[in-house]
C-alpha cells in the first residue's frame, strides 16, 4: 500500500508541475531550470499522464441528440389593396423597407 501511496503522491506532484507550466505558458525547459527539476522527467510525466487520460478525439466526439420539431406553421399570406382595382396577393409578409418603396412608388403614380 505504501508503494501505491507514494505513486499517487508522485503523480500529484508531477501533475502540479505540468499544470503550472500550462498555466504560465512557458516551456518545460524554462520551468525545469527555474524550479530545479529534470526536464526529461517533466517530459516523461507529461507522456505518462496523457496516456492515462482518454484521447481528446474521444472526448470531442459529437453526441447524437434527439430533436423534436413542432408542426410547420402555415405560410402567412398577405393581401395588399394598393389602389382602386390594384390588389397584390403575397405568399409572405413583405419587409418594412419593401412596403415603404411600394408606398413611395404608388404615391408618385397618383400625382
Summarize pLDDT for 51-106 with one digit per residue, the tens: 877 665 556 667 788 888 888 777 788 898 888 888 999 988 888 999 999 889 88
Give domain status of residue 91, yes or no. Answer: yes
CA distance 16 to 36: 15
Give the pLDDT score at 58. 58
Cα distance between the two ends of the chain: 99
Distance of CA 87 to the CA centre of its chain: 47
Span 43-49, average pLDDT: 90
Same domain, 42 and 83: no
Q: What is the pTM of this model?
A: 0.45
- The parent domain of residue 100 ranges over 78-110
DSSP H/E element including 36: none
Per-residue cell: 66 = 434527439
Same domain, 45 and 83: no
Q: 73-84: string of b/e by CB count within 10 Å (b at 16+)?
A: eeeeeeeeeeee
Distances (CA, A) of 52 to 49, 61, 88: 5, 18, 69
Give domain status of residue 48, yes or no. Answer: yes
Span 22-27, average pLDDT: 91
Give domain status of residue 10, yes or no. Answer: yes
Amino acid at each position: 500500500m505504501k508503494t501505491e501511496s507514494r505513486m499517487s503522491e508522485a503523480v500529484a506532484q508531477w501533475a502540479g508541475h505540468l499544470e503550472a507550466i500550462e498555466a504560465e505558458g512557458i516551456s518545460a525547459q524554462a520551468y525545469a531550470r527555474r524550479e530545479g527539476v529534470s526536464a526529461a522527467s517533466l517530459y516523461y510525466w507529461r507522456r505518462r499522464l496523457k496516456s492515462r487520460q482518454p484521447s481528446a478525439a474521444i472526448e470531442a466526439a459529437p453526441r447524437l441528440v434527439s430533436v423534436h420539431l413542432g408542426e410547420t406553421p402555415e405560410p402567412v399570406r398577405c393581401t395588399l389593396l394598393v389602389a382602386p382595382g390594384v390588389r397584390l396577393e403575397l405568399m409572405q409578409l413583405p419587409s418594412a423597407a419593401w412596403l415603404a418603396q411600394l408606398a413611395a412608388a404608388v404615391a408618385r403614380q397618383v400625382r
